Amino acid sequence: MSPSQTQNMSSTSSSSIWLLSYRKLKFFTRIRRFLQSKAARKRYGSSSDHSNKLTIKNSTDKEEERMEKESEPEGDSVVLQKSVKGLHFGSWEEKEMAAKAIEKLAKEDVKARKLMAELGVTHMLVSMMATEVVGRRRAAMKALIELANGNFRNKALMLEAGILSKLPKDIDGVDEQTRQEFAELLLSLSSISNTHFSLSTPEILQFVIGILESASSLETKEYCLGVLYNLSAVLENAGPLVSNGVMPSLLKLSSLKELSEKALAALGHLVVTLMGKKAMEDSSVVPESLIDILTWEDKPKCQELSAYILMILAHQSSKQRDKMSKAGIVHVLLEVSLLGSPLAQKRAIKLLQWFKDERQAKMGPHSGPQTGRFAIGSPLHPRESQEGKKMMKNLVKQSLHKNMEMITRRANAAADASKLKSLVLSTSSKSLPY
């Protein structure tokens, strides 16, 4: 090897060492500035002027060491410095402890949460997600959950660092608590819509559905439903969601009162698309399950969402209206139109109008030229028109009779309760000697 080559190699090596040292110096300088600014805020308060800030900024290293030894004012700052240093340069055990400390800091301090993105914390925590050691992976994941809380930049950095590729392939090998944390993290990430990182891939959707169907806690199921709701809000995701079997899971959970509202909200997003509507029309539980939800008087929001979905399915589809009519929807709609919330009443009346118009159309001529729909009482078919009128009157009478019975029962129950209360009071007062 010639002397010139040896000289070039030595110069290259020295330049790389210098570059690494420069990066470390820049890194710790940034932390030092943060510590100094935080020390200034805590020691001098909001009334400190420009001269105080200059004094803090130009303080010596000896003064900085003295400030760091003060436990109360500098506790969080020292922890942040040690945690970031341990996460970048420490051993695996130190990284795990640093991740736990970062989780606590991010939970308590919003400004520290923002600063950690600049210090490269997010990428290091994402890389820890690939470890097979459960404790380290959970520590990193819990820290990421806190960093993603209300911080768009941290969420984008997680997706950029490849967090989606770190999900476990086999959901059966993950314990219940870890599944819940995965679902919570995905819920936070799914709230980002304007990004080129897609969460609607088959792998991720199957992962979410696997957690949804295997979870035993309602909280975990709510996290998964939140993920599906956020994804279904984007029209481009409707195809992947339907093709990966999301619809049966949502219809199943919509029948549970504790989870029905979120499941129905996601179904409401999907039913407006061609694939989503077709999947619901082909389901064996539709429309019966949705009609049953209309009877939930204690869940007005669920009634409104169910009526909305039924309106989409019934619109310009005589086949679906026939299925609904055979399932007894007219009687239920009459009750909702009288006792439901204002929005539910409005939607129920609209559906009833469609059924009324269709019945009128069926009373028209069955052969020959048809120029339009004939009103009730048309002289062409007076007998059928009278039968239609009687049918509608009977339905209204039955509904009113049932509602009156319900109102009467409630009134009698209230009266009996008041009578019992007065009887107890009178009996108690009579037994008193004064």
* DSSP-derived secondary structure for 272-306: TSHHHHHHHHT-TTTTHHHHHHTT-TT-HHHHHHH
CATH 1.25.10.10: which residues of the chain? 75-166, 169-282
Pick 169-282's CATH classification: 2.40.30.20, 3.40.50.300, 1.25.10.10, 1.10.3720.10. Answer: 1.25.10.10
Query: CA–CA separation, 158 vs 127, rounded Å?
Result: 10
Give the pLDDT confidence score for residue 404 in this predicted structure: 63
For the chain (434 residues), the mean pLDDT of every run of 10, in chain order, is 47 51 60 63 50 47 47 59 86 91 89 84 91 90 92 90 88 88 93 76 92 92 96 92 95 96 96 95 95 96 97 92 93 93 95 86 52 42 62 67 66 55 44 34
pLDDT, residue 230, reads 94
Per-residue model confidence (pLDDT) at position 341? 94
Give the number of other Cβ atoms within 10 Å of residue 181's Cβ: 19
Q: Which CATH code fits 75-166?
A: 1.25.10.10
pLDDT attached to residue 37: 65
CB 388 within 8 A of CB 363: yes
- Tell if the pTM clears 0.85, that is, is over it: no
Contacts of 257 by beta carbon, 8 Å cutoff, 6+ apart: 296, 299, 302
Q: Which residues contact 264 (CB under 8 A, 6 or more apart)?
A: 254, 293, 302, 305, 306, 309
